[in-house]
Amino acid sequence: MKAFKTLKEFFISNKWNYLFGIVWLIVIDSVQLIVPQILRTATDLLENRMLTFQGLIKYSLYIILTGLIIAIGRYFWRIYILGTSRRMEYYLRKKLFGHLLTLPPNYYDTHKTGDLMAHATNDINAIRHALGQGIIMFIDSIFLTFLTIIMMVKTTTLKLTIIALFTLPFITIMVRQFGKVIHRRFRLVQEAFSDLTDAAQESFAGIRVIKSFVQEDLVTENFTKVNQNNFEKNLQLVKVSGIFHPLIQFISSISFFIVIIYGGRLVILDIISLGDFIAFNNYLSLLIWPMMAMGWVINLLQRGIASMERINAILEVKPEIIDSNTALELNSLKGKIEFKNVYFKYPLSTDYVLKDINFTIDKGNTLAIVGRTGSGKTTIINLLLRLYETEKGNILLDNINIKDIKIKSIRENISYVPQDNFLFTTTIRENIGFAFDIPIEEERMIESSKLAQVYDNIVDFPKKFDTVLGERGVTLSGGQKQRVSIARALAKDAPILILDDSLSSVDTETEEKILNQLESITNKKTTIIVSHRISTVKDADEIIVLDEGRIIERGDHDTLLKIDGLYRYLYEKQLLEEKISGD
């Protein structure tokens, strides 16, 4: 049960709900014990020919009354216990999701999306069942068993009660042994479900690639293997459960067999009355449920513990990048950026991706970063956003080390257009206004879309800005997605603007228009442009050229062309490509 310590805070805040639910459960268990006594009294009166019609009506009404009390009680314990387990599900899912948002990008590099989805669905459902139905069955089995045994002794004899309960030790041993097997097999089931979810998610996300390469048969074959593994793991668990519950029921039924033989003999010998015998059998019937419930409790708890251990494994992962105790809140940012002797390597990597990076961008200036693929351009942006921490060196904003500034404050002051141009499956309006907690102002939305040269495309859609985009913006072209992403960043209107290769999918004419529009606002912002296109960066105040993680050239466009280096090579290569494509 150590696994559930993670939910200690929830249990403390909801202890009264569980307590009220348990009280109602005990009340119902107590009321259920009255029914056999009513039947006992009525039977004895009937056997002695003393039961009148009025008496029959009276005892029938007693049974109906107890049934009504039981129905009302069951409603309340369901509300308090099962309702609280639903709140726990909400609490844990929210906690898990919130924690996942704090984890760095490299965590998602090593953990599959489908696996995380399985944790947030199947695992949390298993925990809910354990802390809902599991608690009910646990309390029911303990109190009902205890109270029933007392009533059985009072109704007949201690000897008959002991004989009826001789199977209990066997059930206890079975429950313990089967519980270990169920725990192990259910964990394998959850892992198999994670693989299945991940395979399905990846296939659907890459459906266009699958179809374009005509690999439907291969993907189907791979999915079948994962699906078969999931089926086999579930079947192995079902086989255990299939033996477990009937076996408990069989052992419990042996008690009935013995009681009918021995108890019937006691009635014949007139040691106990017929009413006592009927009441005793009713109590034994009530006892069968707790015996079986204990089996279900072990099953549910083992499943819940296995799932909670998987959830805890995520919750125990500590965010690598957190605010220091003395971190500052930036009320206003001018926008000066400095990189001083910065070195960086990714986790699990032995080679530095960035080596001795030094540059300064003054407020209102534009820095362009150029280099071959894999030279470290985007890594510089990731470090500035504190998605990763520097190995050596310092990064300063307005002469303050970014490690001394609150992470939220840094990112609120940066408008960022990433390479992948991720758009959410919602309206264009909500995508552009993503940075705001309230709906974006119409004027700001229109202005930013015009600056990004996507306004004309949007108004051509039947629903204009209220057009709902497909998954990851699939209903838009590559260039439209990039421009909507740019509009989203411009609408945020932060002091620092970063464009990370965000014009690669637009044609040169549209690119020129966007850059001309941006000139009117970039002189008020500190701007970083990452691009492989020389046409995109040629007007920047300073250009740095990266190669294998080092700055090998720096200067403005004209200065770099005079150097017989990488920048000039890239420029001449692109001129040749444009000439060839023009011909």
Please tell me the distance from the alpha carbon of residue 103 to that of residue 481, in angstroms, as a whole number: 27
Question: Could you give the maximum distance between any two Cα atoms of the chain, in Å?
Answer: 121
Return d(Cα 1, Cα 8) in angstroms, integer: 12
Lowest-confidence range among 225-239, 355-369, 567-581?
Answer: 567-581
Domain ranges of the chain: 10-315, 333-413+496-583, 418-493
Q: What is the pLDDT of residues 201-233, one digit of tens each?
A: 778 767 766 766 677 888 888 889 889 998 988
DSSP state letters, 10-66: HHHHTHHHHHHHHHHHHHHHHHHTHHHHHHHHHHHHHHTT---HHHHHHHHHHHHHH
Domain 10-315 superfamily per CATH? ABC transporter type 1, transmembrane domain (1.20.1560.10)
Q: Return the axis-axis angle of helices 274-315 and 133-155, rounded to nearest 10°.
A: 160
Determine the pLDDT at residue 534: 83
What are the backbone dihedrals phi and psi of residue 532, each rounded to the nearest 5 degrees, phi first? -100, -10
Residues 470-515: pLDDT tens digits?
Answer: 777 777 887 888 888 888 888 888 889 998 888 777 777 787 888 8
Which is more confident, 199 or 81?
81
- pLDDT recorded at residue 582: 57
Place of tokens 């080092």: 550
In this predicted model, what pLDDT tens digit does every residue of 382-407 receive, in sequence order? 899 888 888 889 999 988 999 998 88
> pLDDT tens for residues 533-547?
888 888 888 999 998
Q: What is the structure's pLDDT at 302?
A: 80
Say if residue 443 is exposed, middle or buried (CB neighbours under 10 Å; 0-12, 13-18, 19+).
Answer: exposed
Q: Do 10-315 and 418-493 show the same overall fold?
A: no
Q: Per mean pLDDT, which range of 3-17, 110-124, 334-348, 550-564 is the poorest?
A: 110-124
Res 264: pLDDT: 80
CA distance 336 to 398: 5
Phi and psi torsions of 458, nearest 5°: -65, -45
State both tokens at 297. Answer: 């409790």
Q: SS3 helix, strand, coil % of the chain, rounded to 5?
A: 65, 10, 25
What sign results for the dihedral spanned by CA atoms 178, 179, 182, 187?
negative
CATH of 333-413+496-583, one of 3.40.50.10790, 3.40.50.300, 3.55.50.30, 3.30.540.10: 3.40.50.300
Task: Specify the pairing of strand 366-371 against strand 542-547.
Answer: parallel
Instruction: Tell the burial category of 331 from Cβ atoms under 10 Å away from its Cβ (0-12, 13-18, 19+).
Output: exposed
- 323 φ, ψ to 5°? -75, 140
Cα separation, 344 vs 376, whole angstroms: 10
Q: Rounding to the nearest 10 degrees, give the CA dihedral for residues 330, 333, 336, 339.
A: 30
Q: Report strand pairing: 542-547 vs 392-397.
A: unpaired
Contacts of 437 (CB under 8 A, 6+ apart): none
**Secondary-structure class of domain 418-493 per CATH:** alpha beta
Cα separation, 75 vs 417, in Å, equals 54
Place of tokens 């048969």: 217
Half-sphere exposure of 174 (CA within 13 A, CB side): 23
Alpha helices in 493-556 (DSSP H): 508-522, 534-537
Query: What φ, ψ does residue 256 adopt, rounded to 5°?
Result: -60, -45
SS3 state at 175: helix
What is the pLDDT, as a whole number, of residue 91?
A: 92
Helices (H), 452-545: 455-459, 478-492, 508-522, 534-537
Confidence class for position 40, pLDDT limits 50, 70, 90? confident
Model pLDDT for residues 290-322, shown as the tens digit of each residue = 766 676 777 788 878 888 888 888 888 888 888
Angle subtended by helix axes 478-492 and 508-522, to nearest 10: 0
What pLDDT score was predicted for residue 19? 92
Residue % of the chain over a pLDDT of 90: 10
